Amino acid sequence: MKHFNPPGAETKKRGRQSNDSSEDEAALEKSPSPKKLDRKVSDGSQHDKPEPDSKLAEKKWQSWAPTANSSPFPRFPHPTPADCEETHYVLNRRHHAAVEEEFSDPNTPETIPHVLDAMMVALLSAATSWSNAKRAMNSMKAVYGSVFAYDKIYAEGRQKLQDTIQCGGLHVRKSTLIATMLQQVHERHGKWDLDHLFDSTDEDAMKELLTYKGIGPKCAFVVMGWCLKRNPFTVDTHVFRIAGLWGWIPEKATREMAQAHLDAMVPKKLKFDLHFLLIAHGRTCPACRGGSKKGDACEAREEVKARLEARKES
- The pLDDT of 234-245, averaged and rounded, is 93
Q: Of 209, 224, 214, 307, which is closest to residue 271 (Cα–Cα)?
A: 224
d(CA 178, CA 212): 10
Which pLDDT belongs to residue 310?
96
| Residue 10 in this model has a pLDDT that exceeds 80 | no
- The pLDDT of 214-241, averaged and rounded, is 90
Which pLDDT belongs to residue 226?
86
| Residue 31 in this model has a pLDDT that exceeds 80 | no
Question: How confident is the model over 122-145, as pLDDT tens digits?
Answer: 999 988 888 899 999 999 999 999
d(CA 186, CA 56): 20
Contact 302, 94 (CB under 8 A): no
Which pLDDT belongs to residue 5?
42
Higher pLDDT pick, 24 / 52? 52
Higher pLDDT pick, 21 / 107? 107
Which pLDDT belongs to residue 28?
52
Give the pLDDT band (50/70/90) at residue 39: very low
| Residue 233 in this model has a pLDDT that exceeds 60 | yes
Backbone angles phi, psi at 301, to 5 degrees: -60, -40
Higher pLDDT pick, 9 / 116? 116
Question: How confident is the model over 76-117, as pLDDT tens digits?
Answer: 999 999 999 999 999 999 999 999 888 777 667 777 999 999
Q: Of 198, 191, 304, which is closest to residue 245 (Cα–Cα)?
A: 304
> What are the structural domains, with CATH classification, of the chain?
26-62+77-313 (1.10.340.30)
How far CA 79 is from CA of 221, 234, 266, in Å, comes to: 20, 15, 7
| Among 19-23, 64-68, 173-177, the range of highest mean pLDDT | 173-177
Which pLDDT belongs to residue 130?
82
| pTM attached to this predicted model | 0.76
Q: Annotate 247-275 with b (16+ C-beta within 10 A) or e (fewer).
A: ebbeeebebbbbbbbbbbbbeebbbbbbb
Which pLDDT belongs to residue 314?
81
H/E/C letters for each residue in the chain?
A: CCCCCCCCCCCCCCCCCCCCCCCCCHHHHHCCCCCCCCCCCCCCCCCCCCCCCHHHHHHHHHHHHHHCCCCCCCCCCCCCHHHHHHHHHHHHHHHHHHHHHHHCCCCCCCCCCCHHHHHHHHHHHCCCCHHHHHHHHHHHHHHHCCCCCHHHHHHHCHHHHHHHCHHHCCHHHHHHHHHHHHHHHHHHHCCCCCHHHHHCCHHHHHHHHCCCCCCCHHHHHHHHHHCCCCCCCCCCHHHHHHHHHCCCCCCCCCHHHHHHHHHHHCCHHHHHHHHHHHHHHHHHCCCCCCCCCCCCCCHHHHHHHHHHHHHHHC
Angle between helices 217-226 and 255-265 (to 10 degrees): 30
| Residue 219 in this model has a pLDDT that exceeds 50 | yes
Question: How confident is the model over 263-279, as pLDDT tens digits?
Answer: 999 999 999 899 999 99
Which pLDDT belongs to residue 53?
65
Higher pLDDT pick, 246 / 23? 246
| Residue 52 in this model has a pLDDT that exceeds 80 | no
| Residue 61 in this model has a pLDDT that exceeds 60 | yes
Burial of 152 (0-12, 13-18, 19+ CB in 10 A): middle
Contacts of 52 (CB under 8 A, 6+ apart): none
The whole-chain average pLDDT of the chain stands at 83
Which pLDDT belongs to residue 7?
35
